[in-house]
Structure 1
Amino acid sequence: MRKLNRYIANTVIGAVAVVLMVVVALDAISALVDELGDITDSYNFVEILIYVGLTLPGRIYEQIPMSALIGCLVGLGMLASTSELTIMRAAGVSVWRITWGVMKPALLFIAMGILLGEFVIPLTDQIANSRRALVQGDDEALQSRHGLWNREGSEFMHFNAVLPNGKLYGVTRYQFDDNNRLKASSFAETAIYQGDHWLEENVKETLLTASGTQLHSYPTREWDTNLNPELLNVLVLEPDDLSIQDLHSYSNYLSEQNIDSKEYRLAFWKKLLQPFATASLVLIAVSFIFGPLREVTMGYRIFSGVIVGIVFRTSQDLLGPSSLVFGFSPLLAVSIPVLICFVAGVVLLRRAN
């Protein structure tokens, strides 16, 4: 039985790996073409290649569920086409035993996705975004097109670039009074974290008073705020690129500031349940091979896998934003497609058995 499990695992791993490489390559080429529209003297082709290369871990993570579905359909489809699955069944191997033999190698890709999502993607994507923001300008207020906004109490702030080592470029701050009137604005070329506060450098400040405006310049100035490099490392990334721990902590931070955190709650549940989503799609793939796709061509199997994957992702993409608009639980929005795939896979496998 070990040899049989190893044979199934090698077939599935090879098929999923090939599909994953093809899908990620197509995604990277599409991203490269999109970035070419922003090419400048500073943000040149080499910088674009570096940016796309740094975002590859995120693209791999995003494509794992779809690749697992199509790869399992391809791998098991080859075994079905050569009647090897029929021989296994004739030898007394149950459908559920074969399903577990397929699920075990799929767990390797699920584990790879967890490691990428928790430890690799937050770092590589931040480096990519910060590097792009730096080469596109950081020495003027609100100059960078990829800058970041944040609010803390009655103060709004904008950063042209955020580096992972606790250094900010192009810090613009707007302070408002209790009547929502602007009372001060400032711009600092850089800000460096000192452990319990930030030290702004080359600061220009404008104070708005009843008698007029006052201009001040400071070589350095302390800035006390609840923001720290850990929170800013979260701010620089899209919610889907953050780790589960960062999503949880930043959601709590937004709630403390009375800022809507539903988008980050949704990303939290989506990321937490992605391993189950991948497993449910693998279950669907196995049930299709033993059911409606047992005797069709390989091209039809791939086409069916693409359609199922698109429907699954589209349903999540529709239900997720709908939960933000209509106010129902993000957990429900993320789990419904997963549960549907899981139940459908179990029902089809029981019929095949």
Structure 2
Amino acid sequence: MIPRPMRFDYYLGRAVFGTVLLTWAVLVGLDVVMAFSGEFKDVGKNGYTLGHAAAWVLYTVPRRAYTFFPTAAVIGSLMGLGQLAATSELTALRALGLSRRRLSLSVAVALSLLTGAMVVSGETIAPWGQERADNIRMSAKRGGDMSVARYAGVWAREGDTFLNAQGGEEQLVEGGGTRLVLHDVRMYRIGPEGEIVSLTHAATAEHDASGWVLKQVRRDIFGERSLTREEAPSEKWDSQLDAAALATGISRPRNLRAADLRTSIEYRERNGLDARDYEDVYWSRWFYPVNVLALCLAAVPFAFGSLRSGGMGKRLFLGILFALGFWLLQLFFGRMAGALKFDYRVAYALPPILMLGISAMLFRRKSG
């Protein structure tokens, strides 16, 4: 039988909910204002207006809310519980026979509702909004010559040629600079009557300081009653297509849904490409709710001791300290996984295990 929530569960949940939502709104609001002010430098260029900048920022709000929620959760939880501790309400609940673990469970259940909503948002509204935002920005800045389709990769047009790439990435080159590499590229050349004159397929299209190079090229040229095929291991492509514009059209792994990340990982593994950047983001999505709850539970013991006599500044400082420490710990293990080539699941499991271990140790110390 599932135990029914008690009145103190609702009371604790309401206190934590309020401070988490307030902290969340402040963090996301500051980030939105900074992002909007950062767009002013591009307003007036190539038809990019203030309305485009505002629309871009608004569409990215769900993604920003998803990103800032873990930080807001731990800061808001400490502030909410700190207020109850300062007024001795937590002490009164303890006098009723409620253990610290039982009170922590009430906080975890309250936070799990918001965490669940963020997980759903991260797979639905946030990627959709980011995709719309990217389309608005590119369409305005590039004069409508570029578009991004979720299932068809990147599309671009140059004169009578239409280019489609299924994926790609920017790579660092020796000596500095970057190189854009597009995978599974198709170029359609359209005639004056709307007919397809030629279809070119290339395994990759690479752009660096020397220009464009197509590799493993196969070109079909269509005549009125004939078809001619040409093949070449590589060839130069004389094009003025803006590589920077194409690079912005490639979806970043962090902006993709988990299902799309899984598809991208499988595609890259089948073709012998490096998929670790996608694996990093993919497993971070699965560990997102675990990280939030572990981070908040690790901070809860402070509410029963050091926050009782502390002011708002102390609670805020501890919340930021916990959030920053956890982020650095997760970043460290993530970078180690990338450098040493071990499983990202291990890298993302270690930080919450360490935080929960710290929480258990602090609970035993305060109970002793």
Partner of 1:10: 14
Give the distance between the partners of 2:267 and 2:119, measured in 1 at CA.
24
Distance 1:306 1:24 in 2: 15
Gaps of 5+ in 1: 141-159, 173-185, 205-215, 227-234
CA contact (8 A) 1:138 1:169 kept: no
- Tell me the amino acid that sits aligned with residue 29 of structure 1: V
Are 1:167 and 1:190, in contact at CA under 8 Å, matched by a contact in 2? no
Alpha-carbon distance in 1 for matches of 2:40, 2:195: 38
For 2:340 and 2:55, locate their aligned partners in 1 and report how far apart those are by CA, in whole Å: 40
Match of 1:273, SS state, is: helix
Give the secondary-structure state (helix, strand or coil) at the position aligned to 1:292.
Answer: coil
2:277 is aligned, of 247, 251, 263, to 263
Partner residue of 1:281 out of 295, 319, 337 = 295
In structure 1, the residue matched to 2:86 is 81
Contact persistence 1:51–1:132 (CA under 8 A): yes
Question: 5 Å matches for 1:175-194?
Answer: 188-189=161-162
Count matched residues. 301
Q: Residue 77 of structure 2 corresponds to which residue in structure 1?
A: 72
Superposed counterparts of 1:184-263, under 5 Å: 188-189=161-162, 203=190, 219-220=195-196, 236-263=250-277
Supply the distance in 2 between the matched residues of 1:187 and 1:126 (Cα, whole angstroms): 26
2:120 maps to which of 101, 115, 118 = 115
Distance 1:249 1:298, change over 3 A: same
Alignment RMSD (CA, Å): 3.2
TM-score normalised by structure 2 residue count: 0.73
Distance 1:166 1:324, change over 3 A: closer
Q: Output the CA distance in 1 between the equivalents of 2:365 and 2:332.
A: 31
Distance 2:63 2:160 in 1: 33
% same residue? 26
Contact 1:290 1:349 survives alignment (8 Å): no
Shift in Å, 1:287: 1.5
In structure 2, give the amino acid aligned to 1:325: A
In the alignment, structure 2 segments of 5+ residues that lack a partner are 167-184, 204-248
| Residues 1-34 of structure 1: CA deviation (Å, up to 9, x unaligned) | 7111111111111111111100000111121122
Q: Structure 1 residues 255 and 164, CA, compared in 2 at 3 Å: closer, same or farther?
A: closer
Query: For each residue in 1:157-202, what CA deviation from the matched residue of structure 2 results, as whole angstroms up to 9, or x when unmatched?
Result: xxx4313485954157xxxxxxxxxxxxx97347799xxxx99766
Go from structure 1 to structure 2 and tell me whether the alpha carbon gap of 1:296 and 1:187 turns closer, same or farther (over 3 Å shift): farther
Partner of 1:52: 57
Work out whether 1:296 is the aligned partner of 2:300: no
Cα 1:288–1:225 change in 2 (3 A) is: farther
**Cα displacement string for residues 62-86 of structure 1 (whole angstroms, at most 9, x for unaligned residues):** 0111111011001101110110000
Aligned-partner SS, 1:43: coil
CA, structure 1 residues 332+60, in 2 after alignment: closer, same or farther (shift >3 Å)?
Answer: same
Call closer, same or farther: CA 1:241–1:294 in 2, change over 3 Å: farther
AA aligned opposite 2:335? P
Match of 1:230 in 2: none
Q: Which residue of 2 aligns with 1:31?
A: 35
Query: What letter is aligned with 2:294?
Result: S
Residues in 2 aligned to 1:31 and 1:131: alpha-carbon distance in whole angstroms: 15
For residue 20 of structure 1, what is the amino acid of its counterpart? W
Q: 3-state DSSP class of the match of 1:109?
A: helix
The 3-state SS of whatever aligns with 1:124 is helix
